[in-house]
Amino acid sequence: MRVELQHVFKSYRHNGSRLPVLEDISLTVAEGEFVCLLGPSGCGKSTIIHLIAGLERPDTGQILVDGNSVTGPDPSRVVVFQDAALFPWLTVLGNVEFGLRMAGLPAAKRRARAMEYVKLVHLSKFAQAYPHQLSGGMKQRVAIARALALQPEILLLDEPFAALDAQTRAVLQNELLEIWELARPTILFVTHNVREATGLADRVYVISSRPGRIREARPIAVPRPRHAEDPTLLAHQHAILGLLGEEIEKVFREELGETVHFPETQHAVPPDQARGMHI
Amino acid sequence: MALTPKGSTFLKPLSALAMLYVLWEATALAFPQWPSPRAVFGVLWRDFGDPGFRTALGGSAWRMTIGYVLVMIVGISSGVLLGRLPLIDQVLGSFAVAIHAIPGAAWVPLAIIWFGMTERAVIFTILLGAAGIVMVNTDTGMREVPPLIQRAARTMGARGWRYFWFVVVPSAIPKTVDGLRLAWAFGWRALMAGELLTSVNGLGQRLNQVAKAGRLDELLAIMLLIAVIGIAIDGLIFKRLEHAVRVRWGLAP
């Protein structure tokens, strides 16, 4: 399914006044494309995910899925949240079954399909475990399996790996790519990690903050599997960091109420530092 | 000796009890009219051998069981109803809170007018004294589904009765269990008040009889038993249940 945002504006009430969050966002994601939304914290990228999921409504502008306006949540557009948001009272299998149960699938069929996806994320041994018994990475795997079990045509991932350690994140990124190549859902992946965005996406939308505006849509035409040291990737990362350097400064200024000067070298970091650079 | 956390949970209350015992023994020595612990435990031991006392104890246990089952049924179902139907909640909610604010003992006179000095009056007292907290907690629990859980459920197609049954109801369970634990304590108090003021054969009435007969040692023995049963049921059943639920729901480590 193709996702399209046309001139979307969104603001929230804040101390009686309206605080603009998104300003004139227009973007297109082709069917089966893997797109990353990259921006500093508070740039409204999660709001874009919520709008596409139908959890929130734009002030003005259109959100279209295959040309039809989004009016509410639908299991064809599933969200994976940063905090996994598992149901604590259900086992791993129970969580993965949840959406299928909501769709009214008979128990045996439901269980069989849920088990497939539990296996896909390598959690067969933990099918009967409860979320409180799992590590952060395992919880996020369950969240992904739970979303995939619905066989969604659009998968919306809201900083799904942000709270994980570097190794776990790398493993899950690879698993996500494998799954994507198998089922080819349209993916919108929100992150504030430059390396993650360039490593995963066909295209990266760089978003500025307060209010969120699209600064650039950058195609990453590097074949997969991608190597971390690939010079083209590194060039993309440097370009994005350069573009966002001023943005980061702006965020700091607003949050800390003082001017923060980044030394020149910050914008031209050596490759091994740039790869892990969070913005 | 280094105390493990497990050990200290037993040793701390145990040492507190030992101190209490010593204090009690000392008081009894200083004031001869105050019964010593040995005298009280002796009376308690004799009471357990007395069939009349055992009947009273069994009667109290039976009424509490019936009363508590009714508390669960009425409290949970009315709580679910209030949580499900906002209109009813707005109309009857404050009425429910008012009922909840009346202590169990205050229901006894009305219970006696309606049911006479009977077992039913006692059970009615337990029900009115304890169902309110279960209802209020169930209702609150159903209103406090975490926003993230709500969003996750909605994006996966949960709506209508399925959303209610598979998301709202399980979300409310920790709060409901809190209510059930409190209801045990409230119900136990209400039982004693009911038995004290009616002529039903139970621990409460026994309390009344020995007080009128001026038997201080037996009065203390029965009060001690009432406290021990209250603490034991709470510790062995409700505290454990509450902890298990809190762990599963990720609310306690």
pLDDT 10s digits, A136-148: 889 999 999 999 8
Cα distance between residue A130 and residue B249, in whole Å: 9
User: What pLDDT is recorded for position A252?
Assistant: 62
Closest CA to A141 of A153, A127, B86: A127
User: Which candidate from B155, B167, B247 shows the least CB-CB separation from A73?
Assistant: B155
Q: What is the ipTM of this complex?
A: 0.82
Which long-range contacts link A266-274 to residues 24+ away (Cβ below 8 Å)? A267/A241, A267/A242, A268/A238, A268/A242, A269/A238, A269/A241, A271/A229, A271/A234, A274/A194, A274/A195, A274/A234, A274/A237, A274/A238, A274/A241
What is the average pLDDT across B176-193? 94
pTM, to two decimals? 0.81
Show Cβ contacts of residue B248 under 8 Å, excluding neighbours closer than 6 positions.
Answer: A88, A89, A130, A132
Structure-token match 């679910």, residue found? B80
A110 at the B interface (CB within 8 A)?
A: no
Give chain A's domains with CATH numbers.
3-76+152-274 (3.40.50.300)
Q: What is the pLDDT of residue A15?
A: 83
pLDDT tens digits for A241-272? 888 877 766 666 665 555 445 444 444 444 44
Spatial separation of the C-alpha atoms in residues B177 and B75, rounded to whole Å: 11
CATH topology for the B60-248 domain: MetI-like fold (1.10.3720)
pLDDT of residue A267: 43
Residue of A79, A87, A130 lying closest to B149 (CB–CB):
A87
Joined together, the tokens standing for residue A35 give 């797109």
The lowest-confidence range among A247-256, A260-269, B73-82, B180-189 is A260-269
pLDDT number for residue A253: 62
Place of tokens 């299998």: A93
**Can you name the residues that pair with A77 across neighbouring β-strands?**
A154
- How many whole angstroms separate alpha carbon A186 and alpha carbon A205? 15
Is the distance from CB of A119 to CB of A142 less than 8 angstroms? no
Work out the minimum CA distance from B86 to partner chain A, whole angstroms. 22
Find tokens 């040291």 and name the residue: A229
Write phi, then psi, for A278 (nearest 5 degrees): -100, 140
Most B CBs within 10 A among A96, A132, A134, A140, hence the mutation to make, goes to A132
More confident position, B237 or A279: B237
Question: Where residue B59 falls among pLDDT bands split at 50, 70, 90?
Answer: very high
Q: Do A83 and B249 touch (CB under 8 A)?
A: no
Q: How far apart are CA B195 and CA B214, in angstroms?
A: 19
What b/e readout covers B14-44, taking b as 16+ CB neighbours within 10 angstroms?
A: eeeeeeeeeebeeebeeeeeebbbebbeebb
Q: Would you say residue A279 has pLDDT above 80?
A: no
Nearest in space to A198 (alpha carbons), one of A279, A84, A83, A77: A279
How confident is residue A59, by pLDDT bands cut at 50, 70 and 90? Answer: very high
Provide the residue ranges of all domains of chain B, joining segments of one domain with +.
60-248
**Phi and psi at residue B17, in whole multiples of 5°?**
-65, -40
Task: Specify whether the CB–CB gap between A64 and A44 falls below 8 A.
Answer: no
Tens of pLDDT, residue by residue over A27-57, are 999 999 999 999 887 778 889 999 999 999 9
Please name the member of A75, A89, A146 whose beta carbon is closest to the beta carbon of B248. Answer: A89
pLDDT in the model for residue A168 = 85
